Structure formats: C-alpha cells, structure tokens
Chains A and B, each alone.
Chain A
Amino acid sequence: MPIQPARPSSSLAPIRDEDFRFSQARHLLLRAGFGGTEDQINLLAEWGPERAVDHMLNFGEIPSEPDRPDAFDHDIMHPLSDQDQRALRQARQSRNEAVVEQFQKRRMTAQRADRAQMREIQGWWLTRMIQTPKPLEEKLTLFWHGHFATGYRTIEDSYHMYAQNRMFRANALGNFGTLLGNIIRDPAMLRYLNNNQNRKSDPNENLAREIMELFSLGEGNYSENDIKNGARALTGYTYNDDDFSFEMNRHDQTIKRILGVSGNLDGEGFVNAILRSRACPAFIATKLYRFFVADVPMDIKEMPPASRQFIAKLADQLARANYELKPVVRKMLLSRHFYDASVMKNKIKSPAELVVGSVRSLSTPTRNMRVLVEAMTQMGQSLFAPPSVKGWDGGRAWISTATMFTRQNTLVYLLTGRLPAGFNPIGMAQSFDARPLVRSLNNPARTDTPSRAHIASDLLRAVLDTRDEALAKKIADATEHEKRDADDPRTLTEMLTLITALPQYQLC
C-alpha cells in the first residue's frame, strides 16, 4: 500500500513555488489538459504554478482554429415545410400509401446522412482534443457534455448536437448560471428531455426533474412539488428547426412556487430560484471536483474528510463568485489539496483522457479516427452519446475486465497499428518511431546508444512518472532480441506496448 501522510491536506491555499516540480507540472497538464510531452511538462515546471495555471486557464488568449458554425450541414434533418406537412396529412387521410412511403423514404435517407454526419462530428471533436493548443477548453467542454448529458440516439439531429457542443465551448469557463439558462433554450436538450412536448394543458416533467436532480441541486434538495411547478414554468419552451422558440400559447402563466420562490415564473425564474439554493454551488463544486481532482462518491457524507472539506471551500468560492467559474477553477488548480500525494496519480483516466493523452504524450500517429471513436465507445465513452441523462459515472465504473482489454488494445493500436479481430485493418500502414521520444528524454549532447535497461527506465519515468528499476529490468528483458540494437524502433515499440498495458497506465 502506498505510504500516505496521515492527514491529507484539504487546503485551498496555493501550492508553494518550490513544491511545484516535474511531477506537479505533469499532474497539472494531465488533469487540466490531456497530458503532454516531456518538454511541455518541463516548461510548465519552469514557469512555476501561477504562470502554468494561468496559461492553461487563459486559453482565450491563445490563437487557434475557431469552431465555425457552418463546419457541418445544419439542414440534413430539416423539418417538413408547411406545404409538405399538409401533403403528408392528406396522403395519410386518403390512405395514399405511395405518397406516405415517399415521405418515409425521404426521412430514412435524411437519417442515414445524419448518422454519417454524427460520426464525422465525433471524429472532428476527438481530433480537436488531440490537436488543440487549449486543452483546458476541450476538457471543460467534455465536462459540460457529461454534466448536461444529451444523447444523439434520442434526438437524431447531429447539427443540434454540434450546436450544443459549441455552446459548451463558448461558455466553458464562463458563468454556471448562464450555462443553466442556455440549456433550457438548447434545441438538443429540449428534444432529449421531451420539453418540446411540455405544454400547460399537459405538462411534461422530464426536463424540470433532471435540471434539479442532475444538473444543479442533486437528489434530496427539492420536492416533487418543485418538479411539478418547475415543469409548468418550462411549458412552451421548445424549438423551431435549429432555434429556441417560446410558444406563449402553450406557456402556463399562473403562479408557481419553486424552492420557496413564488410568482408567475418562467424558465428564467426557475433557473434563478435554483441558483439561489445553497445546494447548487455545493453540487457543482462536487461535480468539478470529481472531474478534475478525485474519484469520490457523489454523496458528500461518503467522501474522505479532506475531499469533503475541500469541496465545501470550493462551493463557498463558487457562491461568492456568483457562479463565475474561472476564479474557482483557478483556485482549485493552484490549491495544495490538488497536489496532495493522495490526489496525484490516483484518478482513473476516462477513455478520452486515455486516448487523447496517449497521442499527445507519446506522439503516436492518430491513425484512424473512426477506430478511435469506436474504441472509446467500447470503453464506455461514446462522444455525443452518453449512456443516460446522468452522464458518465467515471472512476472505477470505467473499469471492467472487458474495458481493461479494450484500453490496452487501443494503445497497441496507436503504437503498432495492430487491431484486435473484428476491425478492418485500416490505419496499419503508418509505423510509429519512438526514437525521437526516447531521445527527448536524454541529454541532447549524448552520442552513444544507452542500454536497453536505461531506455526502459527512461520510458517508465516519462510515461508513468515512476522510478522502478526492477520493473525496468523486466521490460528490458522482455524486449531483448539478439539482432536488434537497444534503440531499434521495434524494441522501443514493444517496450511501450508493455508499459502502456500496465495497470498504472490507467491512472492520471
């Protein structure tokens, strides 16, 4: 069992400059981003904690490719025109099967095209995570996607998923109140939780319930009556094609009472009532903590004391900052607790962290995005298709005997191009050469070839931040070949397939 200090720090005070070294800089880059190369880590370490964190945080200042609204076709799932709707209705009434079938065919063709576009968007986002100079922006976009979980299979409109993704990115480090206000106007979410069917004559509670249970307060912090009244406040909130639409004639204009606030509340009034609740900052702080800091239970009572205390402080900061996220995330990433020995190297990587992080830190080829997206799905994280409105549980829920193999084999794929059976052999051609990686770990002035054991030891340090000479020897022995030099590309790749198969590689 790893030796840990008796009392882990729960301090929100910033880490001291002298305590911020290679391991801490690596930790910051893994958690606030997707990890990086030895050079990147060394640079952050050299900068010190404040500058390093601010560089990650102030991503608005880093130039990069914007996510253009017209990058994808918004028209594939275009609703029927009034004229078409009339024609379809008439055909149905007169039982004109040929016309009805024509409409059905049209819809099926559109759906097929749309599913293809959804796959493109999945690949686009994964590529973006791999290439971005602003990793925290993508990390937070992923956080909000998991928080306000919306699944493509229900909504069947890839452009709405894309638009929602852009909304998360634009507000990634903005204000939580704004995000909550946006989500009740977001076509994808309105469709996903059936609010387009929520009207005063027949309220649908789905969105109102999940807003409080999963997006803002957590179970036990509202009543069934709050849900009923919240649903009434959201009546008439729907969408028209790609835009939010408020249908006044469907909206309930009578008095509602939500979380102690009374009045003729609409969606904004509902959101404001939620933001006033003390449960809200605590819930959001817990979600942020679980995403960035540690695999702890959602229920505060079941957490280790240091986590509980730290989250309370974080929640307090969030309330004081009126839900502005940037100062709070900054405090979190600078805090002593964040760099506590109990926190570092003790979080299970999400599939996105595993895949994106491996490419970014080992500099492997990205090979085929479709394969990587599919591999992530097999690991339990299908982008734009979370398992439910609850998003991803994270932590140990990522891991089973099945996903352990998928994780190891995805690394084999990235390193060697070899796929497990069941995949088409695409992306195999490109070979990976780890020699630049290995060279970057050594003094550039060095001209001789280091021994295999030396290389294995270097790789273990770079990949796992670990010094374990016995393990290095095992890896070196495993990859011994009479006819190959110690730094033969095949030898290096073999070493890396073994190192990335180690259980520790699943931790960040």
Chain B
Amino acid sequence: MSLHNDPTRANAYTRRAFLANSAVLASAALTVPAFLQSSAFAVPRPQLGLSSIPGVDEDTILVVVQLSGGNDGLNTVVPYRDDNYRRSRPEIALPTDQLHILSQYGRSGAGDIGLHPSLTGFRELYDDGLCAIIQGVGYPNPNRSHFASMDIWHTAETNGTGDGWIGRYVDSQCCGFGAGESGQAPDPAANPEPPIALGTEIPLALQGRRIMPVSLESPETFSWAGTKYAKDLAEHYQQLMNTQPAEGDDSNNAFLTRTAMDAQISSKTIRDAVDQKPLVGYPDSKLAGQLSMVGSMIRAGMKSRVYYASHGSFDTHANQLFNHARLLEQLASAVNAFYKDLKAQGNDRRVVVMCFSEFGRRVSQNASRGTDHGTAAPMFLFGPRVTPGIHGLHPSLSNLDNGDLKYTVDFRSVYAELLDTWMDAKSRDVLGQGYKHLKVLKKA
C-alpha cells in the first residue's frame, strides 16, 4: 500500500523511460481528465465552498516555484557575520550595509542572516510573518549535475528515478494503488484535479500514473485556431479530439490522443479563468506572468491543488552579481505581488508557495567572478500558515565537503510536512518512509 517506487522492481522507471515509451505509465493514465467530471469546475463558483473533499470548507493549494540552474544560496540568504563568507568570495561577497538584516521570530539565528539586497519583496513578506526560510537543505551524496540533481528533487528519490513526488501525491488522492501498480478505479467522490504547470513543459515532479498534468504557456495560445478560419469546424474538431484510446494502450498514438483530448477539454475553462484581470498589479517578468495566471485560476475557483511555475536560469558560472540580483528581484517582486493578489481575493490562507533550486553553489567563488555547482541551499515557504522565521541550521562555512556545504536538512522532510500538514496526504505512502517535520507550517 505504498506509492513509493521500489527501484529494484522491474517496472520502476526513470523520467527518460516515461518520456520515451514507458509500458507502465501511460497505460493507466485516466482517459478523461478528472476536472471534466466535476461539475463545479465547469462553472467557476468562487463564492461557494471550494473544497473537493466532503466536509472540508476550502482546499489548500501548493504553488511550487522552481529556481532552475542552481541558485547561489550563500548570496541569497547571507551568513554575513561569518568571516569565511567574505574570505571565500573576495569579489562577489555582498556588502553588509546593503543586506536586509532579518529580525528574530523567537528563534535563534535570524540576526546572523541577511537577505540579498534585491529581495525587498521577500523582506516585506518576512516582516509580515509570511515567510519561512529553511537553511542548509540538501540530501545525502549530492549530485552536481543539473539534470540528475533536478530529477532527485522531482522524484524525492536519491537515485532520481520513479514518478514525480507530486504525481504520486495526486495518485494517492484518487486511486489508492492497493493491488499492484494498476491501482484502483478512481473514486468519483474524491477525484483530484490535475496539477497545472505554467509553461510548455511538464515537470517530472507532476508526472503520476493516473492523472495527466495540464500545462499552458498563455491563454492566447491555449485554444484551436482552426475556428478562426471556419467557425463551423469547432464542433467537428471537438468530436475528433474526443476519441478515447483503449484502456491499457501505451503507444505514442494513445498518449497523443489523450493529450489532445485533455487540451481540448481544459481549454475553455482555463481561458475563462485567466481572462479575468488580476485584482492587483504584477511586475513585468515571465515569473510574474505565470503567478498572475495562477492567481486568476485560484480566484476562478479552479480546483487544482498544485500549480508549478519556474524561474531562471540561475547557473551563474561567471560575472554573477548583476544577473543574480536581477533574477532575485524578479522572484521576490513576483511572489510579493502574488500574495497581495491572494489577499485581495481572500484566498491567501489557502495557499503555500514553496521555492527550491536543484542545488546551491560552491562556497568559494571561481576565477570568473561566478560560482560553480554546489550542494545545500535555502528553501523558502510563504503564506499566512507558515511558521515565520529561520528554520534549520546554517551549514558551516569551514567544515566543508570538498569545498561544498554539508546539508543540515533533508528536503524530503519539507515535502513530508507539506504532504501531511498541508495537503491532507500520508507522506509515508508518497515518500516511502517517514521524515521528521521541522514544523515550518502551523497546525490548522
């Protein structure tokens, strides 16, 4: 009774296997996206009870913001009092007088930490009690390849194979996975909506077995343009796209048929939701655009519980000061605007934002005023229901592993707490084992 993939089993598979032609995965994916079946979804009803779970008023929502490319944690959450910081980074250490020195939240350590000067938007959220910073997050035997490390974060497996952790969570909400890999027929009473990725790609983290994620880049591009040529074709197009592949068919053809159907079915709902003007202004960046769409979808009462945005590239090997500052400014201002939007909607208490990157960067700068791939780095959680302040221990800057930080918090303990406390799931089923909570979230 576990969604955890046993890598020793023949049908455990990697992302590459999924993307290519897995015999396991697509076979079981639902032929009809769940949200087609939930009538509440078809007509957004933001005023009514929003929960898909009987007896629960409002569903909680997780918004993941991925910082791609390896965010330099030491120049994001700066241990400015540690002399090793400046010594290791003669040309790229940030001047103390420009940092946002953080106040205490009844915990030790905050006074030793300064946020990057561009993180004004985070500092405001922090001061309002809406920001939790978790220091030194990583995993054992760190992998310094972008792709391998990203797969590890996405699968929550140290070998980077298997389904995405959010995909497994969504599956756990509908289909039990009792007997064998095929699971049970979805329970119509608890039919989870698909996770939604902003952008054209679907992150591995969202790949499950029963529910196919939906992705969109922008509302303008999320409909068929043939009707602009001949209006009458709309109905015929819909019929042609509504072909169901046979249950168990895992061919590329079946996969394409399912995707075309999902696209056609979700098109109008999502466009209607995103067509609303947000209640607050957003800055002009790609990430802000993505979060503004998420805000509009939440406001429209869409029932997806996971949204996935990404920002980057943080791969700052050379002359990093300017680029890193720009990326962090975009990040902080976008998340800040997002919470203002949610607050104006009255939905802020329903949403937690989680920011992570596949790894941090080396303690010492390189010869090109940049930093190379490293290991542990901070994570951020936002929202009124987080325990504000600094969590976890900052790794030592002198006791290093080959020039890299030693992690102090396993990222899966953060996932576990989000699953157990926030998403009403059993983290042990999803992650394969239990992890101690850091108590970064307040109990409901």
A73 CB to nearest chain B CB (Å)? 26
B199 on the interface (CB 8 Å rule)?
yes
13 more CB-based (< 8 A) A-B contacts, given A409-B221, A418-B225, A501-B240: A380-B200, A380-B201, A395-B20, A396-B19, A396-B21, A402-B199, A405-B267, A408-B225, A412-B229, A420-B228, A490-B230, A504-B253, A506-B256
Q: Chain A CB within 10 Å — which of B201, B230, B248, B266 has the most?
A: B230
B214 on the interface (CB 8 Å rule)?
yes
A183 on the interface (CB 8 Å rule)?
no
A409 touches B224 (CB 8 A): yes
A340 CB to nearest chain B CB (Å)? 14
Question: Which residue from chain B places its CB closest to the CB of A298 in the assembled complex?
Answer: B16
B225 touches A409 (CB 8 A): yes
A408 touches B14 (CB 8 A): no
Partner of B19, one of A393, A418, A421: A393
Q: Mark B179-206, 1 if CB is under 8 A from A, else 0.
A: 0000000000000000001011110000
Known: A1-B251, A503-B256. A202 touches B19 (CB 8 A): no
Residues of chain A from 186 to 235 with CB closer than 8 A to chain B in the complex: 194, 197, 199, 201-202, 204-206, 209, 213, 219
Q: Chain B contacts of A294 at CB under 8 A? A: 21
A400 touches B229 (CB 8 A): no
Complex Cα distance, B236 from A179, in Å, reads 50
Q: Chain B contacts of A194 at CB under 8 A? A: 317-318, 368
A348 on the interface (CB 8 Å rule)?
yes
A422 touches B20 (CB 8 A): no
Complex Cα distance, B225 from A299, in Å, reads 39
Q: Which one of A114-122, A238-246, A491-499 is at the B interface?
A: A491-499
A74 on the interface (CB 8 Å rule)?
no
Complex Cα distance, B252 from A403, in Å, reads 15
Question: Which residue from chain B places its CB closest to the CB of A345 in the assembled complex?
Answer: B253
Partner of B145, one of A1, A197, A219, A418: A219
B220 on the interface (CB 8 Å rule)?
yes
Residues of chain B from 46 to 104 with CB closer than 8 A to chain A in the complex: none
Complex Cα distance, B256 from A395, in Å, reads 11
A404 touches B259 (CB 8 A): yes
Q: Chain B contacts of A209 at CB under 8 A? A: 145
Partner of A412, one of B21, B226, B255: B226
Q: Chain B contacts of A394 at CB under 8 A? A: 19
Partner of B367, one of A197, A390, A490, A504: A197
Instruction: List 16 interface pairs A-B (beta carbons < 8 Å), by A numbering.
Output: A197-B366, A204-B367, A290-B20, A296-B21, A297-B14, A297-B17, A297-B21, A402-B215, A404-B260, A409-B226, A418-B225, A477-B236, A490-B230, A501-B226, A501-B260, A503-B243
Q: Mark A472-488, 1 if CB is under 8 A from B, else 0.
A: 00100111000000000
Interface size on B, residues (CB 8 A): 62
Residues of chain A from 328 to 369 with CB closer than 8 A to chain B in the complex: 345-348
Lowest 5 A-B CB distances belong to which pairs? A478-B236, A503-B256, A401-B263, A422-B220, A297-B16
Question: Which residue from chain B places its CB closest to the CB of A411 in the assembled complex?
Answer: B226
A295 touches B20 (CB 8 A): yes
Question: Which residue from chain A places its CB closest to the CB of B214 in the assembled complex?
Answer: A401
Question: Which residue from chain A places its CB closest to the CB of B143 in the assembled complex?
Answer: A219
Partner of B236, one of A197, A378, A474: A474
Residues of chain B from 132 to 181 with CB closer than 8 A to chain A in the complex: 145-148
Known: A396-B19, A474-B239. A405 touches B222 (CB 8 A): yes
Known: A501-B224, A502-B240. A397 touches B318 (CB 8 A): no
Partner of A299, one of B17, B246, B249, B254: B17
A199 CB to nearest chain B CB (Å)? 8
Q: Chain B contacts of A497 at CB under 8 A? A: 226, 229-230, 233
Q: Chain B contacts of A201 at CB under 8 A? A: 367
Known: A412-B229, A478-B236, A498-B226. A378 touches B260 (CB 8 A): no
Interface size on A, residues (CB 8 A): 70
Question: Which residue from chain B places its CB closest to the CB of A399 in the assembled complex?
Answer: B259
Complex Cα distance, B19 from A290, in Å, reads 12
Q: Chain B contacts of A393 at CB under 8 A? A: 16, 19
Q: Chain B contacts of A302 at CB under 8 A? A: 13-14, 16-17
Q: Mark B261-285, 1 if CB is under 8 A from A, else 0.
A: 0110011000000000000000000
B217 on the interface (CB 8 Å rule)?
yes
Question: Which residue from chain B places its CB closest to the CB of A417 in the assembled complex?
Answer: B229
Question: Which residue from chain A places its CB closest to the CB of B204 in the assembled complex?
Answer: A397
Q: Which B residues form the contact surface with A (CB < 8 A)?
A: 13-14, 16-21, 145-148, 197, 199-202, 213-218, 220-226, 228-230, 233, 236-237, 239-241, 243, 246, 248-249, 251-257, 259-260, 262-263, 266-267, 317-318, 366-368, 372
Complex Cα distance, B221 from A56, in Å, reads 37
B390 CB to nearest chain A CB (Å)? 33
B259 touches A400 (CB 8 A): yes
Partner of B21, one of A199, A345, A395: A395
Partner of A420, one of B16, B202, B225, B257: B225
A401 touches B259 (CB 8 A): yes
B368 touches A197 (CB 8 A): yes
Q: Chain A contacts of B224 at CB under 8 A? A: 405, 408-409, 412, 501
Question: Which residue from chain A places its CB closest to the CB of B198 in the assembled complex?
Answer: A402
Known: A406-B221, A412-B224. A202 touches B252 (CB 8 A): no
Residues of chain A from 369 to 414 with CB closer than 8 A to chain B in the complex: 378-380, 388, 390, 393-397, 399-406, 408-409, 412-413
Complex Cα distance, B145 from A403, in Å, reads 27
Q: Chain A contacts of B256 at CB under 8 A? A: 348, 399, 404, 503-504, 506-507
Known: A194-B368, A219-B148. A408 touches B267 (CB 8 A): no
Q: Mark A274-307, 1 if CB is under 8 A from B, else 0.
A: 0000000000000000100011111100101000
Q: Chain B contacts of A409 at CB under 8 A? A: 221, 224-226
A498 touches B236 (CB 8 A): yes
A164 on the interface (CB 8 Å rule)?
no
Q: Chain B contacts of A1 at CB under 8 A? A: 246, 248-249, 251, 254
Q: Chain A contacts of B17 at CB under 8 A? A: 297, 299, 302
Complex Cα distance, B20 from A347, in Å, reads 9
Q: Chain B contacts of A141 at CB under 8 A? A: none
Q: Chain A contacts of B222 at CB under 8 A? A: 401-402, 405
Complex Cα distance, B228 from A419, in Å, reads 8
Q: Chain A CB within 10 Å — which of B19, B226, B241 has the most?
A: B226
A413 touches B16 (CB 8 A): no
B221 touches A408 (CB 8 A): no
Known: A302-B13, A406-B200. A197 touches B318 (CB 8 A): yes
Complex Cα distance, B346 from A407, in Å, reads 38
Question: Which residue from chain A places its CB closest to the CB of B218 in the assembled complex?
Answer: A422
B225 touches A346 (CB 8 A): no
Complex Cα distance, B327 from A177, in Å, reads 39
Complex Cα distance, B220 from A274, in Å, reads 48
A339 CB to nearest chain B CB (Å)? 17
A501 touches B237 (CB 8 A): yes
A7 CB to nearest chain B CB (Å)? 16
Q: Chain B contacts of A493 at CB under 8 A? A: 229
Partner of B233, one of A295, A299, A494, A507: A494
Question: Which residue from chain B places its CB closest to the CB of A490 in the assembled complex?
Answer: B230
Q: Chain B contacts of A479 at CB under 8 A? A: 233
B20 touches A296 (CB 8 A): yes
